[in-house]
Structure 1
Amino acid sequence: MRYGFIGLGTIGRHLAANLQRGGFSLTVHDLHKEAARPLLDHGARWADSPAAVAAASDTVITCLPSPGATQEVLADKDGILSGFADGGSWIEMGTLGRDEIQRFAALAAQQEVKTMEAPVTGGVHLAAQGEITILAGGDKAMFDQHLPALKAMGKEIFHMGPLGSAAVIKVITNMLAFIHLKAVGEALMLAKRGGLDLAQAYHAIAASSGNSFVHETEGQLILNGSYDIGFPMDLALKDLGFAMHFGREFGVPLELASITNQTYVLAKAAYGGKAESPMIVKLLEDALKTDLRAPGFPAKLT
């Protein structure tokens, strides 16, 4: 199976590297060729356009930051769909809304190109280790066909159901992570204002019923002051927007998600859309003029 990979950003570069380490033939493209250098140095082939990637591949994987980027790479001039000669397969590993992935799949089907969604969750450090979780949606036979490649890129692999199913669960997991992050910041501030040693408080929470994946990971990045999770405010607001849309569509009141969304709006106004998403906690630090630094935490997750 010849794979192409387009989108070598914060997450995509690790997914592509893991696919390459798994022994899969790889042709790559990105807006910035330098992002592909480590892959090219290990035998991947460069293509000058998404169409050229498709022409050299049986299946093209994309990991793109927005629906607009997906539209351009998939269907615009020199897009993937113009490059496949006799059909092919397309796997999107970025986060899209359910309606969007289904709309793009319909465009692909007109060119006899099959579609599967496979967004990821778990963070950059797990992507780098090949241990990220992959949430797939689409035809089960297509999922089974590409399962070896998915296993090369991630650890926990879930087939969620028909196309669009993975988009829903991915938005749910991100919504929970953002809510948890807001809660972690408030909990750590209570500990600090209560006179506790923050490092000891972190470890006590990690060993308690109040623990969460977000506390264990992003909690460290708050305490070391880096906030560096490789996920900006703009993407968080995009995903929260998807969650709020699903809440209206499915008739589910999302009170915590709504409050968290407003916190992110305020944080973007304060620090900009490219600021790291854990900086929502800095809003609380700035408001109370109390930092949450603690010694002994690494500069970034490894």
Structure 2
Amino acid sequence: MSSRRIAFIGLGIMGSPMAANLVRAGHTVTGFNLTQPPIDKLVAEGGRGAASIAEAVKDAEVVITMVPADPQVEEVYFGDGGVLDNAPAGALLIDMSSVTPQMSQRVAAAAEERGLRSIDAPVSGGEAGAIEGVLSIMVGGKAEDFAEAKPVLDALGTTVALVGPSGAGQTVKVANQLIVAVNIQACAEAVVFLERSGVDLDVALDVLNGGLAGSTVLTRKKQNFVNRDFAPGFRIDLHHKDLGNLLSAARAVGAPLPTASLVADFITALRAAGDGGLDHSALLRNLERLSGKVN
């Protein structure tokens, strides 16, 4: 794979290991973040740092953005000193944030007006998947832009697919978040039931994970459940945002999603209790509150 000059905007829980994986793949990566320590970390790993978005993207062939939600994408792309006004003509923009399909389509249209190209490429796999470079990446955009982006994306994930036109990646991502949220809720309910029944939880979860009930969620989150360790790999606040995007999109196409609505309410309750910064496996806390086990 030939080396590309890549600007990486947003070095958070997901972005930081993703940028590091691109460096390890042989790319020249210049990172920008609103706080300095993640930039310093990237530099220590062989990347470069920039003091602004404009500086990061000025010579980039590829610009990757990984920020929390629509407002941040709006600022990064359309704000003063943003990507659209400073990326060189012909650059390929890859937004890997999880946002609404409408935002992805807006970015793509604005990019085309400026002689740039854009795809939306949200991911699934959480912090562990980002660190290990095994993310699932769902891409919306033109086939020729996907073909150019794929060698770069292959350094970040093991499942990389074009799922449709601009915005389609985001549509598939919110469907992913529906499945993940419902799976976590089901696992949490099983944990409460098993513990109340006096079963060895650690062993029981291993047995369940070896059969049809097994899942990546249970593999990744088992220790969170067993140890009540809810340090954020993917924050409740972000899953709340994603399910909001899902339900909005579902209403637009007339798709009833009753289970998604219920789990979204549980996530809203967690945020109201001050747990928005915890990992989404903290859905277990809702059930424990209902059982009187935690405050």
Q: What TM-score comes out, normalization by structure 1 length?
A: 0.92
Deviates more, 1:7-16 or 1:139-148: 139-148
Residue aligning to 2:195: 192
Please show how residues 71-220 of structure 1 align to structure 2 within 5 Å.
Answer: 71-220=74-223
Distance 1:82 1:259 in 2: 42
| Secondary structure at 1:112 match in 2 | coil
Q: CA deviation at 1:110?
A: 2.0
Letter in 1 for 2:53: P
Partner deviation per Cα, 1:4-31 (whole Å, 9 max, x = no partner): 1010000001110011100011111111
Residue aligning to 1:9: 12
Please show how residues 214-293 of structure 1 align to structure 2 within 5 Å.
Answer: 214-290=217-293
Residue aligning to 2:43: 40
Q: CA deviation at 1:290?
A: 4.2
Letter in 2 for 1:72: E
Distance 1:22 1:236 in 2: 30
Letter in 1 for 2:172: I
- Unaligned 5+ residue runs, structure 2? none
Distance 1:247 1:70 in 2: 22
Deviates more, 1:179-188 or 1:47-56: 47-56
Deviates more, 1:41-50 or 1:25-34: 41-50
Q: CA deviation at 1:131?
A: 1.1
| Secondary structure at 1:115 match in 2 | strand
Q: CA deviation at 1:45?
A: 2.1
Report if the CA contact (8 A) 1:91-1:115 is conserved: yes
Distance 1:12 1:42 in 2: 14
Say if 1:78 and 1:157 are closer, same or farther in 2 by CA, change over 3 A.
same
Letter in 2 for 1:269: A
Distance 1:184 1:287 in 2: 16
Distance 1:187 1:286 in 2: 15
Q: Percent identity?
A: 30
| Secondary structure at 1:34 match in 2 | helix
Distance 1:177 1:235 in 2: 13
| Secondary structure at 1:258 match in 2 | helix
Letter in 2 for 1:128: I
Which 4+ residue blocks in structure 1 deviate beyond 4 angstroms? Answer: none
Distance 2:47 2:260 in 1: 42
Report if the CA contact (8 A) 1:98-1:167 is conserved: yes
- Unaligned 5+ residue runs, structure 1? 292-302
Distance 2:242 2:136 in 1: 17
Distance 1:290 1:210 in 2: 26
Letter in 1 for 2:69: S
Cα RMSD (Å) of the superposition?
A: 1.4
Q: What TM-score comes out, normalization by structure 2 length?
A: 0.94
| Secondary structure at 2:159 match in 1 | strand
Partner deviation per Cα, 1:132-188 (whole Å, 9 max, x = no partner): 111111111111112111111111111112111111111000111001111111111
Q: CA deviation at 1:208?
A: 2.0
Q: How many residues align?
A: 291
Distance 1:203 1:42 in 2: 36
